[in-house]
Structure 1
């Protein structure tokens, strides 16, 4: 092999390595650029999801405040106005004893029904059973109330311990079940609901099932309705995970951890 051949071989080898190096640099640059772009898109989606979640929570809170305000105005305020009117009627001249007793009894009945309305609104805000006796008793009472209707039967079993001190977490779990039951009855037209709390794969888990109409998770708008967003938000707040399975005509299965 002469000197020129050796030099040519060295040059071609150098050029080949240079070309390979440039190719690797370009590949790395565009790969890194693509990865960065994907990460940015993922971050943007996460930020958008968090914003949507926040908006859903705020919207839900405002709707709840509006509902409470309407209840206070339409129910309690109107009853108190009638009570006030009847009290003034007690000062009417020439009022017979029978009329006086009738007015007094009417006032007492109105006060009692107003107190009951106030109790119900208070119950909706924070169930007394939950506050006094804990989550297990509150869920049991909720299921008993539903079962009294005779149209929907709820079975409930629990092998977990709910710490009474964890008030905020317990309230979120209770509200999740309320929302699920409301969806089963209102949208799913269910007649049977099953609620089970147990340990699964090292996590506290709730498994909720109904025999309602179900829905197609890929098509049905119920999947991302406000009720489900509220459930997702509450599951996020208790650092849990949420899984939903459903088919048309085959009910729904919801599993969440906490």
Structure 2
């Protein structure tokens, strides 16, 4: 309806020429005309500016939009003001003032949001997405395109929805995500066909063709270009048509179909000349130059080469190509065999030189690799040798430490033996003294009594009393001998008891090889028989010695628990362990003596250990 009123009003005014030029007087007459409403005047002027100035004359559009903004502000036409700001931003964008355009788009977006105009929001969000695409901020552009798509769907604005789908396809195509771009183009084409929006369909088909060209599916891409060309011809949309011809020329050039390159490039060049599109003029001349050169038509190739140079910023870009082209032209014209021979000779020399250079490079590369390999081998050997020496040094230090430990244990054992021998000697001396002083005296008295009995027997006097005294003396001698035997049986260790002896052992070995030994006991209130205590002490001493020599442990625990009928001993450590499954008590790891002692006491021994884990010895001895 808006376009219908616009067309009627333009015809009525008669101020728009066939070439789409609108004078300032025409704009003023639209603004000052009171035969229609203010909102229709604003909408009409906005459409005129948008359609006739944005592409070709952005400066003029900016001047006129400012007038329109003043008009909408004066008349308080908020919806039309939002449209005018959006058009103002379009003019700034075409002028190349990107930052100012983004600011105006954001201003119009706020106004559309205030008015709850979903259609306007969708259009502006789409334009903001274009700004971020120009800035190569594709993530932000895609975000705004998706917001625009949502608003357009809510507003049932199918035209902007189709355009946004095409823009989303373009974002993915720019990111080289061709397979993700194609579905967007297909949706846009389907939507445009549904509402008969030919212009949008043509743009989507053009971009879909570019996507298929990227996939090297040239049959589908050419079909898309042909359909886009027919739509552009139907709508007389020269701007889209010239881009279709450029895409066709590029595709035909890739597949080396030079006849079609020439045909489409000629048509495209004619349009580019009409529209004064410098970059497209350069491109079409380049395609014609390459196509004619491939067909050996050097006159026309040189013509389009010279024509294309006019649109370049620098003549140095194709100078080398120009000389080669002139050489080919002269060769065809003069057919100088001498020049051909000379060229072939130079080419062969260059080829031979290149081969020789490559061979030399290969030799240097091989030498470099070999040298690097030798250096790396030497480094690896030195590192290995150094590591081996360190390992040997560590092993030697460990052996020295073991020897020190064994020496310390032997010294401790010798000290213990010396103490025992010394004690035994003193005990012998005490025993001899007691036997001489006590038992000897008693026996001497008993001997005298027997002699006296013998004398009195002959006289027959007081025999019974003499027998009683003699029996008493013998009983005293027996008791003294028995007492000394009991005292002797107590032994050196038994003087203090088993538990103090074990605690003293733990105290003496703690600190050797960073080993810490703890003693835990339960129920040892009563003393054991001396020989049993000595045997248990020797068993524990042997196990502790084994831990020091072989386990590399830092912690060990000795647990002793006395029950009514047995005594339980647990010796465990946190060392490296060994394989208890294949354990042989005669393997020399210090357990054979332990086993023999336990067998003599009718006890049992269990060893639980695995390589890399702790070792636990469980001993049960009946009482």
- Interval of TM-score (by shorter of Structure 1 and Structure 2): 0.3 to 0.5
Return the structure number with greater strand share: 1
Select the structure of larger CA radius of gyration. 2
Q: Considering Cα pairs closer than 8 Å and 6+ residues apart, tell me whether 1 or 2 has the greater RCO.
A: 1
Return the structure number with greater helix share: 2
TM-score (norm 1): 0.48
